[in-house]
Structure 1
Amino acid sequence: MNLHALRVFHTVAKLGSFSAAAETLFISQPAVSKALKELEYQLNIQLIERASKGKKLTLSEAGQALFEHARSIFAIEKAAIEDIKSRTGLKRGTLVIGSSTTIASYWLPPYLANFCAQYPHIKVEVQIANTAQIEHALLECTIDLALVEGTPTEPHIISKHWQNDLMSVVIPSSLKPAKNVKAWLNKQFWLLREPGSGTLEMSVKLLQQHGVTAKNSMQLGSNEAIARAVAQGMGVALLPNVVTEDLVQLGKLTRLKPQNNIELSRPLYQLHYKDRPSSHAAQAFEKSLFSE
């Protein structure tokens, strides 16, 4: 198989555009079309559904299968290049970590500080997004590993339990719950994260396990925004304790005691793309995550 043609196909499929692929690969659009035609001729199968003007480009069933293989092939290629570059005792290279907002704000900093002190010549970047966006970045090989709250939905992503994050239902300190807390919570206005957030996924699951449904709700884009909105009396929320600690200490939020003294918690996961071998820098950072 012609690897150049495969790379062209992979780029077209990823970007969804012949012109965007041509610009990315620094070749002409006719060259892109020629490479794809040659690949389809070589494989004797149609890979891309030629969309009519104004409609989005789509892959055929065979094209989608080939795209998955191509993504793995170029992930291994990238890992090989990084591996060769890193064979200097971790004295050079780049490590890109994907992280959800809460982990990046509260859990990740001490690990970053220790890693950067130990390997000062490794350039470290942190990309912050919700769990769904992090998964996509892993598959596109734009990050090396990830730390998130939610469990992955993609079969090509491997997850490893990292640690647990305690959570509590928080209410404005001026608000007093009724004796029947469960019934009272079912009537409250809930502040929730956006779709794709690991916090939203886990919050809904934990609430349902305790017989609570957030029927009336509003979505906000960060846990910090939700915590401050609750402090202003806008509603109630289920949030990580690390997020609400300062507002609880200031007397602006009250944590409800867990029912039957069963603490609420969510698992935090470390993720990586199984078809991409880890670089030396990624292996060293992953080791530091589980060394305690």
Structure 2
Amino acid sequence: MADRRIQVFHTVAKQLSFTKAAELLFMTQPAVTFQVKQLEEHFNTRLFERTHGKITLTHAGEVALEYAEKILELSSEMETRLGELTGEISGKLMIGASTTIAEYLLPRILGEFKEKYPQVKAHLTVANSETIENKVADHTLDLGLIEAQSHHPILNTDLCCNDELVVICSPNHEYAKFTSLTALQLAEQPYVSRELGSGTREVIDDYFRNAGVNPDDLNIAMEMGSREAIKGAVEAGLGIAIVSISTVVKELKLGDLVAIPLEPKMTRALSLVYANEKFRSKLMQAFLDFVKTTKLNRVK
């Protein structure tokens, strides 16, 4: 419903890139440039400064962005409210999830939710927990599912369930026959770690600190942003790692990896995060209720 020029300007302003905006809007870059130029001509002012291949918002652009966000939010709210008069739960749901949840837990949940509400179109963004939090906070996403409690000041956090993390190693590793391991024992071995910003990394670092081991003192062989890469490195004998037990079910069955529980056990809370706002659509509320009361709680 909102003026297309405003939608295009908003996307360019948030991305500070005509190229990225064109990709997100499924438009050509010249078409994006034309829409922004039309808006500038309408207001008889420049909204962007273009220097050395980079763009920044002018003062007028900053004011325009503030109002564009309000206009788009109200336009979306109007469409949602009017759509709800039909009694159907429908529309687009923008969900973000950290990698473990997105790949191992969420597909089934989204499938069951879609079966219950066939008119809903879900769009999933996969990134680390910190990125998902920021996207929910700036309203790029409606809600997020992350692997730790949120520390963002404007977000609500609801705990969904607990997930156990275990040590994994090659079947040929000296720890393969152990029935449990402590943090001190892990500090003696080459360790394959997740990247900074990962919810898993945050939980693991806190566990080591509580056990009296400084995470900076670990013998980190490498840091990786991909869980699959971590499993591959461990399988190749390059070190040990800590992962969610739900992510190595196949490898354990095939005998490619061995999982050893920690003593004491390491668990993390999987959290649902969303902005604390006055307006919440029936669609978003339906998904919140669906996840919190019936679905993720079945995943242990």
Short-chain TM bin: 0.7 to 0.9
1:136/1:276 CA distance change after superposition, 3 Å:
farther
In structure 2, the gaps of 5 or more residues are 23-29, 295-300
In structure 1, the gaps of 5 or more residues are 39-47
CA RMSD of aligned residues (A): 3.8
Q: CA deviation at 1:139?
A: 3.8
Percent identity between the two aligned chains: 29
- Judge which range, 131-140 or 110-119, deviates more: 131-140
Q: CA deviation at 1:143?
A: 2.7
| Per-residue Cα deviation, 1:191-227 (whole angstroms, up to 9, x for no partner) | 2222322122222222222234334231223223312
| Per-residue Cα deviation, 1:98-134 (whole angstroms, up to 9, x for no partner) | 1122112222233223212211222223222222332
Q: 3-state SS of the aligned residue for 1:281?
A: helix
Instruction: Look up the match of 1:252.
Output: 256
Give the Cα separation in 1 of the matches to 2:139 and 2:193. 30
Give the Cα separation in 1 of the matches to 2:192 and 2:259. 15
Q: 3-state SS of the aligned residue for 1:248?
A: helix
Alignment pair present for 1:227 and 2:231:
yes
Q: 3-state SS of the aligned residue for 2:35?
A: coil
Give the Cα separation in 2 of the matches to 1:102 and 1:170. 16
Give the Cα separation in 1 of the matches to 2:184 and 2:251. 26
Instruction: Look up the match of 2:15.
Output: 15
Give the Cα separation in 2 of the matches to 1:5 and 1:113. 35
| Per-residue Cα deviation, 1:45-86 (whole angstroms, up to 9, x for no partner) | xxx9968656652678x9979967864664354233223224
User: Paired residue for 2:37, among 16, 29, 42?
Assistant: 29
User: Paired residue for 1:134, among 116, 132, 135?
Assistant: 132
Q: 3-state SS of the aligned residue for 1:233?
A: coil
- Judge which range, 189-198 or 13-22, deviates more: 13-22
Matched length: 278
1:279/1:242 CA distance change after superposition, 3 Å:
same
Give the Cα separation in 2 of the matches to 1:283 and 1:200. 30
Q: With structure 1 as the length reference, what TM-score do the two structures score?
A: 0.76
CA contact (8 A) 1:168 1:240 kept: yes
Alignment pair present for 1:57 and 2:56:
yes
Instruction: Look up the match of 1:268.
Output: 270
1:139/1:201 CA distance change after superposition, 3 Å:
same
1:10/1:116 CA distance change after superposition, 3 Å:
closer
Instruction: Look up the match of 1:120.
Output: 118
1:87/1:237 CA distance change after superposition, 3 Å:
farther
1:59/1:28 CA distance change after superposition, 3 Å:
closer
- Judge which range, 171-180 or 29-38, deviates more: 29-38
Instruction: Look up the match of 1:43.
Output: none
- Judge which range, 110-119 or 235-244, deviates more: 110-119
Q: CA deviation at 1:288?
A: 1.0
Alignment pair present for 1:284 and 2:286:
yes
Code of the residue aligned with 1:106 in structure 2: it is: Y
Give matches, 1:1-292, under 5 Å.
13-16=13-16, 24=32, 27-29=35-37, 31-32=39-40, 35=43, 53=52, 57=56, 71=69, 74-90=72-88, 92-177=90-175, 182-212=183-213, 213=215, 214-259=218-263, 262-275=264-277, 277-292=279-294
| Per-residue Cα deviation, 1:145-180 (whole angstroms, up to 9, x for no partner) | 211113334433222111111111222221124999
1:234/1:33 CA distance change after superposition, 3 Å:
farther
1:80/1:273 CA distance change after superposition, 3 Å:
farther
